[in-house]
Amino acid sequence: MPELPEVQTVLATLQPRLLGRRIEQVEVFLEKIIKAPHPQEFVALLRGRSITGLRRRGKYLLLELDGSHLLAVHLRMTGRLVYSSPDTPRDKHVHLVFYLNNGDELRFQDMRQFGTMNLMPVASFEAFCSQKDLGPDALDPALTGDLFEKRFQGRRGQIKKLLLDQSPVAGIGNIYANEILWRVRIHPERTITSLTPVDMEGLYRAMRSVLEEAVAGRGTTLRDYVDGEGNPGNFQSQLAVHGREGEPCPKCGKEIIRLKTGGRSSFVCPGCQC
């Protein structure tokens, strides 16, 4: 958390505010979030650059900069990237501030300090994705159902773990893996080799529909997530199973249970996902 829908919502809210803005200065309060290059070089390279575009790959928010550079931001568990006026009080967990040419600020806040930033030439981004073993984006129009199935061929293990592994497809985390598997009536502990072509087609369609609906709902706020303007998401009210242990399944009415799958909580309907 945040997952694909939340990062997409952050992008959508920041884009009209950041596009064309120049970064006048960068102040880093916690150097460990800067993974590359060295924090001093990071600041020097960003100073004076304009933001020419924003896009996303999986859970990475990508800021395109003039001079053919790219800033890849990963929010991890509790990261926030919020556009703020300079007179807005700073939270104690603000670890980096971009000072913009209109006097406003873009602040990176992260209570658990797991978020990361990588600054690189645009031409190096695909190599960066290969290094991170980052698969195609789960909502990439080029990711067809056939290609989706091929991304899982030759793999082993439980389907829930493979959905959370960003190498087959990128962008799915625990919340939406639970929702996708419930929608397609697949138990999270089923092995990938047990799934039929019909199962895989249903999984692909469920992935697309759940993620698209969550983007339309502006993401899910359970604890920490806010968009680029500091506002919570709305999709938490539409979750069918995630976080709803003990509640009735919206489809069959049986009580939703919680399992541990690979150290993560899986919320399952024992009637629909038997």
Distance CA 98, CA 94 (A): 11
Q: For position 262, what pLDDT does the model report?
A: 79
2 cis-preceded (ω within 30 degrees of 0)? yes
> What are the residues whose beta carbons fall under 8 Å from the beta carbon of 160, sequence distance 6 or more?
177, 181, 188, 189, 261, 262, 264, 266
Residue 231 to residues 87, 95, 104, 194, Cα–Cα distance (Å): 18, 20, 18, 41
Task: Supply the pTM of this predicted model.
Answer: 0.96
Say what the pLDDT of residue 263 is: 84
The highest-level CATH class for domain 145-268 is mainly alpha
Per-residue model confidence (pLDDT) at position 1: 78
- Structural domain boundaries of the chain? 4-131, 145-268
As annotated, the active-site residues are 2-3, 59, 264
CA pair distance 117, 97, nearest whole angstrom:
13
pLDDT (tens place) for every residue of the chain, 274 residues total: 799 999 999 999 999 999 999 999 999 999 999 999 999 999 999 999 999 999 999 999 999 999 999 999 999 999 999 999 999 999 999 999 999 999 999 999 999 999 999 999 999 999 999 999 999 999 999 999 999 999 999 999 999 999 999 999 999 999 999 999 999 999 999 999 999 999 999 999 999 999 999 999 999 999 899 999 999 999 999 999 999 999 999 999 999 999 998 789 999 999 999 8
Class of the domain covering 4-131: alpha beta
In angstroms, the CA 151 to CA 179 distance is: 21
Distance CA 104, CA 91 (A): 16
